[in-house]
Structure 1
Amino acid sequence: MRGGASTSLALAISACLAGSLVVTFSSVGGAGASTPAGGNAQSLGTLDASSWISRLTPRYIVQFKTTKGLNSTVTDETRMGTDIIDVWDNAIDGFVAPLSPTAVQRLRNDPDVASVQPDATIATTVNQLSPPWGLDRIDQRTLPYNGGYSYWTSGTGVTAYVVDSGILSTHDEFTGVTGRIPRGAYVDFGDDTQYDDCNGHGTHVAGTLGGTTYGVAKDVTIVPVKVIDCDGTSTVAAVITGLEWVIADHDINGGPAVVNLSLGGSTSSTLDAAVAAVIADGMTVVVAAGNDDTDACTVSPARVAGAITVAASTVTDTAASFTNHGSCVDIFAPGVNIQSASISSDSGTATLSGTSMAAPHVAGVVARMLEASPTATPDEIWTAMDTAATTGVLTVPTGDPNKLVYRTPPILPPIPQLASVPGAPRAVAVRAGTGTVTITWIAPSSTGGSPVLSYSTSCSATGEATVTDLDATSPSVVTGLTFGKPYSCTVSATNALGAGPPSGLRTVTPFTTVTEPELVSVTPSKRKATATWLPPVSDGGAPIRGYVVSCTDGLITKTRNAVATSTTAIVSGLTNGTEYSCTVTAKNLAGPGASSDPGLVTPRTVPSSPLSVVATPTSSGASIAFDTPASDGGSDITGYTAVCRSTAVGAITPLSASGASSPIAVSGMSPLKRYSCKVLATNGAGDSRLSSGKTVTPTI
């Protein structure tokens, strides 16, 4: 990072320090005063003492068509208690006075009045010639570059906490104004550097934020808070410790302040909470989006909602190849090949790239805004910055804000005019339910100057009645919708002046449970039942996610799950000979639907072999007696078959006879020949195995 080399910088907060972390904070004096470098003058002009962002009673210039109309109205307004500050009848016929919205409307309706315009603050401007390209870019709306950086505020009276790797306090960029670095703090990494920068990152960042040549806010008070070690790494604990000190220091010293965090790492709820606490203390926090070309919402503290998250742009107004992106990015700023102070020497420079370089451009603009409006809140600062941003000039990925930071206009934003209806609610999201839609949102970025009193939701579908809730709160559940039909839903906010514009349409299709499948058959087998079905007539507006086949004997239920494409399933673990009632149920996102009509089934198998076989010879035959099998297989035995085969070599064809019970007579045998006789039983599932054989020799 030395010697002006161009480097893409990525910081990771990682647990890289061995042993216990020793934290020491020290208040250290800054460098002495000298003449500002670069010939850049301090802010000029007169600024109203009250904030142009948060003024409560704005002043208006009322111009009249004639002097007569002026005189008459001045008399009437004075009688009504209007505090007229000045009256003119040479340059124009008019007066200036603080006016309520009602008074403004009354005067605008007066036929003698030519116009009623808000007063505004005007300041003189200083122009820095041949600045770094980042400064050149943020003071103009479009390319090409004009070779200058114009400013009329410079951060005077504002504190910028640079939570980073420290600072080279003797660098020419910081020694031009008395008290530029009045104090600082550091995490003791055991190298005795205090807040001296042994890495270079913090010095570069501070130079872009508030350096006399390379800085956006050239007179801001810089307070370094060293939380990054010489190797460019840190820990979440170290950063939280630094932020703890920032809050304590701000509580002691007070005044407007901005905090720059050009660092980041994996998501950390504790780090996010610490950053949120800094914002809650009244300080605007600017954070780098990160350099991994990924979603900034996966990075802390880039994902903190109240911080201003900055992505990096190039000299040609494109998103930097490395910059993180997505909905957590708030704004872009120059971040590629940025020249600023380095630690190589007291006059050294380095050219670095990264969202670390983009963030201090925005923090510098915040410091300038706070000089003009020292009581502005972080929300008010962001609203003004967002409103002033240059839009539509960047080439950025879909989903990224096409907004480039812009220094506050030469004529500061006008005093707030009459209240208006609120803006559209933001971050509207919809989620389908069973005949319902759940809508969530956050408040509009602008209330129109009057508190939001209520929200209304509206969901409509072709051929269906529009469903509206005039007093909704987020999350709002819209009921009574027709499943399977796509609905377009919006949310609008209402204040005392009426309803604001609706949010963008969000399309969602409500669903319900599926109808019942048609059970075609249930086929029994040994301890099993095979169910076959047809799919439901309606899927309820959501894809079928699977089936459940259930078989119950009234006491015990066995089930089998089947995938959405199945139309058959086997339920196992049943008891043979017990009757079961089986059904099929389909399920979708709404859950299980109605079950099919039941089908009855009795699992079964073949009986066991008959027992105690006895073969008694008869004339040319045998009488085969036996006992019933030990198991009928769960189905009544329908008959028996006796089979006798000659034991002679070459005998093939057996003789058999059937009967309903014992004994069974087998005839046709050859007298005085030896036979082996066996018996099998038959039920609804089929034939059993043959019993053990018994030999017999028929008589003559």
Structure 2
Amino acid sequence: MARKKSRSGMWGRKTVVALAIILTAELVSGAPAKHPGVGKTSRDLENVSGSQMVDVIVQFKQTPTAFHHQKVRNHGGSLKGELGLIKAGAYRMPASAIKNLADDDDVAYVSPDRPLTSMSTPINDYHTLSINAPAAWNVGLDGSGIGVVVIDSGIVRWSPDLNSLNMSSYNVVPGASTYDEYGHGTHVAGIIAGTGASSSGFGYTYTFKGIAPGAKIYSLKVLDKNGVGTDSQVIQAINSVIQYKDVYNLRVINLSLGRGVYESYTADPLCQAVEAAWRAGIVVVVAAGNDGRNNAIGTNGYGTINAPANDPYVITVGATNTKGSSTRSVQVPASYSSKGPSLWDQVVKPDLVAPGNLVISLYQQGAGLQLSNQNPNNVVPYSLYKTFGSSVGSSSYFILSGTSMAAPMVSGAVALMLQKNPWLTPDQVKARLMKTAYKGMAKSATVTDTSTGGSYKVQSDILTVGAGLLDIQAALLNNDLAPAIAGSALSPVAKVNSAGNVVATVNGSSVLGGSSILWGSSILWGSSSLSGVDIQGNSILWGASSLQADSILWGSRSVNSDSILWGASILWGSNSGAPDASNGSLGDN
């Protein structure tokens, strides 16, 4: 129930142009585009000039000191904030001085302090049933003792549905209240740890409960009343999480926010920050983005993963549509969910998917709140879940859609896993989630957006659903251990041939790629192009017949015999695509 960017698009005109350039260079010609990290300034600074003042993040080759800050001042700049986590600082300086500053030997990279937004779309309970959350609750797991940090727009001042604390009322939005002035962060927090207290008891017909209702929610506010923040604000928040992780047992960060990709993750300051958290032992869960409908350059939404979801360390989550049912096999990818591979680096993303369409979670009430005021029809009527005395009271719940809502589903699942096995490292958590993800989703479907009337073709391929649908029960039952070393479960990288087809995945020593074949016998798309043309016919991805039988990727042939993930453990196994034992339907939503 997280809020990532709105489906209307985080991709502006300049970003679409950049997308066209990169995909043309790398996916069509097969030749790698010039790595943006070769230069010392990002491409989106090339068009700024003159005396105009620009907010930038300057990464140095060492943690900056007063000496380094003075160098920026010598160029007419001023320090806005320390970003020691990534050996950087946030500054405001004249555009005309950027090039000269970048030429300094102590400077590693200069990029704008870019704006970012939440990843939800305003428009149950089938969602928790379809990912097997009740299996955890039935054995007493609720996330107790685990601290989950929601870096977002803040959370509600008080709610009976949240066992929540604000970490030192931390807020990096200048002049803003510590509490949620937008509504997105509250919704996300409810998906992770809502207790359902406002919809439980006599006369209630539905209980809207989060995935890990016993987890402690710590809110770090980086998005303002309009759902907008900046890179430097998020980096400062991540730095605080690392500082206090042992004090509050902060094990998970949820980022239902993001922006476009402008350079390789190896240079992007936001990506460097999430990697620092990962190396510190914190699981970072990030919404993939809501640009899956972007067909501006004819890719049908492929290549639209947002930052920092493009980083190979983190767990990147796409969204599915439950189709109003708890039956997992009927779920399809949400048409707006961003698809891989990532720009510049061709990282195979998302890593897995979770329900993110029409999700009901906590409602931040109050005058002036943009999210609820602009979308009054999304407020869940009190009468929907309270039959006795339905004329009294007001709603505590709200409906949102987006990968922002899918990411907290996974964050809640991670809290459950860490409650059961506190010693699991981020890489071990990620590998288990991907290995046990449900592989039997509908291969393809045509979906219609009732609000716009638009029709979209969706398919459950590797660059849309990753390893598959979150399965909490299977993840909790799995005992396989990836190496504990940070980076042992890096997301694979797509290998593109001269025809522009993805033909293999590679990733060095990662258990999710390299010598251990994650996705099949190295052929993913066969004669099918990245845009998905002919994906079900001539493509090796699905084979010539059914998903469960003849597919080289998911079926019972070479994957089960040749692909070994760790030691003697079969990566996907012959039963990984078995249908859900509980195929009941609760109706349409």
- TM-score, length of structure 1 as denominator length: 0.41
Higher relative contact order (CA 8 A, sep 6+): 2
- TM-score, length of structure 2 as denominator length: 0.49
